[in-house]
A and B are shown apart, each in its own frame.
Chain A
Amino acid sequence: MRYSVMILLLSAAVLIGASMTGANYRDIFGKEFLTKPWAGGQVKESVCISCHTSDIIKPEYRDIPQEWKQSWHYQNNVSCKDCHGGDPDDAEAAMSPERGFIGTPDYAEIPQVCGRCHIGILKNYLESGHGRALKASKTGPNCVTCHGSHNIQKASIKIINEARCSRCHSYERAKVMKQALFLTEKKIRDIDEDLKRLKRAGVFTDEEDKTLFRTHVEYRTLFHTVNVELVKKSTDKFAKKLGLIEDKIDKTFRELEFRRNFSAFFMMLFTVMGIVVFMLSRTYKD
């Protein structure tokens, strides 16, 4: 007993002693160990963020990283480089035109910048009244006019509202468009909610998510024509596509219901068996 305690105390002393050596190693490690994600080394911080949150940048540009971190782009891994070009890994060449840096695009060029990813929308927008106005006057509404720049949120039907639209024209026409979009948008929102519920129930909905996303994008693209008649005409086609997703979701909910009932049956079966065995064991004891 005495020797065991001595060995234990000695081991503790050796370990504590060893921990006092190599302080530099442990200091570095201590910083990385828990305060950051443990594999933090894998993800480099962009030099754009480093500069735009430091004192070397003008105060009006310092809020940009924070705005971006609240955006839909951030949630979908769209970062500074994707819109502004440049090299986020190299502080020296971060803003070099050779590395594709374009900085703040010209007002009239903004649709081209956004359109590098939102290809279908760009096409419809350019053919729309909005796009034609921009082309004609260089001051017509572009993407940023309705969606903002860094704090871009997931687009919804709410974006069409009197305050926003009446900055340029009367709300009447936009209101008719909103009404034409309403039912399909509601259906998309409902399906989205159902998919979230399925995810919470542990169902992997990747395929349905992608189909919904594609359908939604297609629908939104169509909306950017600002052509009410075209939207109304296409509503049936989209309703059919969304209906297929709804059928799949309903089937999955029914499957979950079956699973619940199935395992509940076994739970009750084991409960009854347990009670019977318990009572049997009591009789043997007696």
Chain B
Amino acid sequence: MWRRIKKGLEVRIGLEDLVNTKLKRYTVPRNTNIFYTLGGVALAAFIIQALTGFFLLIYYVPHSDHAFRSVQQIMTSVPFGWLFRLMHVVGANLIVAVVFLHMLSVFFMGSYKKPRELTWIAGWLMLLVVLTFSLSGNLLPWSQLSYWTTTVVTAMPTAFPYVGDYIANVLRGGEFVSGVTLNRFFALHVALLPPVFVLFLVVHIFLIRRIGLSSPPFGEQTAGSGEWNEYRHVSYPDGYSFYPYFVLKELYMVLAYLVVMFFVITFVPTLFLPQGANIPADPLKTPAYIKPQWYFLAPYQMLKLIPNKFLGISIQLLLLAMFILWPFFDTGRERNILKRPLLLVAFLASLLLWIVLTVWGRTS
């Protein structure tokens, strides 16, 4: 049976040639490290989010009168609904951590440099989509936590003079967060963001395959170094084959991701669901402390520290633009950050600042 299917596919699409050229003969540098697998892990994390999200969508009711109750039904009455919801909630946080790590390692290894500027930009756009996923998904349970963090976040555009209120009103569908906001965020979360993410993903993967994987800048330089004046595919004739070597490496990192996810679900299931997440939204009762998700704590704390809010948000947008367009600022050929002390110090200082602001935002 299996042999007949295989033969049928061989005749029609040249399966063996496809496997050989795209998987077995496609090689990766011999000195790839586990950080090279983070892109694949992020992809697996996205697939897990899509699958668990689909399951939740069957039972979730996107209406402010029923949303909270329907989520509680998923947690208590739907068979294994709790598992899918917790996987979705924990996964929503882990995917951000994985994408952050991926970006950091790409930056550290200088893999954003020519000819991979567009790959870097596509990656950044995916990170922004992931964060928008998180923002919109956060409101859907219609809990006190989700209601008030959305109130905080949708108030941020009002820092801009003249157009700020208009932007906030468009986001909320009115002056305050309401059922209209819930409908908007729901539509965004399930209908608009997934195809946008997939589009950027396709572009990202296409660019990686078209240009070829970059090799780590440390140790012996194998390929892709030197002048880059015309298109060429970077290949590693003496490298390891993508399948099975790199696929197995990806696989055990994906399994490590699942171990972390199930560790959280087993031992600290409420890590990302504090008490406010378990109380229905009450627009008339402002909780004493409203804190955004952990990955927004650094910009949140920065906003609190800068007295002029317009300036604070503007600086953040400028920093964001700078990170996205960084390959066009850093055009030098040297990829090894260890040979660039100034950039190394700036990188470590930025990372330290981010950690300090996050901890400060959490504790203040």
Chain A residues with CB under 8 Å of chain B are: 1, 4-5, 8, 11-12, 15-16, 18-19, 21-22, 25-26, 29-30, 33-34, 37-40, 42-43, 77, 199-204, 206, 259-260, 262-264, 266-267, 270-271, 273-274, 277-278, 280-281, 284-285
Contact = CB atoms under 8 A, between A and B. Distances in A.
Given A22-B162, A77-B285, A266-B258, 11 more contacts: A29-B158, A33-B309, A42-B176, A200-B275, A202-B75, A202-B277, A203-B75, A259-B269, A280-B248, A281-B244, A285-B245
B105 interface: no
Contact of A38 (B152, B262, B267): B152
Contact of B308 (A30, A206, A266): A30
Contact of B309 (A8, A30, A273): A30
Most buried by B among A77, A270, A273, A285: A270
Contact of A270 (B155, B162, B255, B267): B255
Question: Secondary structure of the A side of the interface?
Answer: helix
Nearest to B164: A29
A16 B311 contact: yes
Contacts of A38: 151-152, 155, 290
A204 B72 contact: yes
Contacts of B148: 37, 39
A30 B176 CA distance: 19
Given A1-B329, A200-B275, A274-B256, A29 B311 contact: no
Interface string B140-155: 0000000010011001
Contacts, number: 140
10 contacts: A8-B329, A11-B318, A19-B310, A37-B148, A202-B273, A204-B75, A277-B255, A284-B244, A284-B248, A285-B240
Question: Secondary structure of the B side of the interface?
Answer: helix
Contact of A284 (B245, B258, B269, B308): B245
Contact of A26 (B161, B270, B304, B329): B161
Contacts of A4: 325, 328-329
Interface string B77-93: 00000110010000000
Contacts of A34: 303-304, 309
Contacts of B256: 274
A137 to B, nearest CB: 42
Interface of B: 72, 75-76, 82-83, 86, 148, 151-152, 155, 158-159, 161-162, 176-177, 240, 244-245, 248-249, 251-252, 255-256, 258-259, 262-263, 265-267, 269-270, 273, 275, 277-278, 283-286, 290, 303-304, 307-311, 314-315, 318, 321-322, 325, 328-329, 331
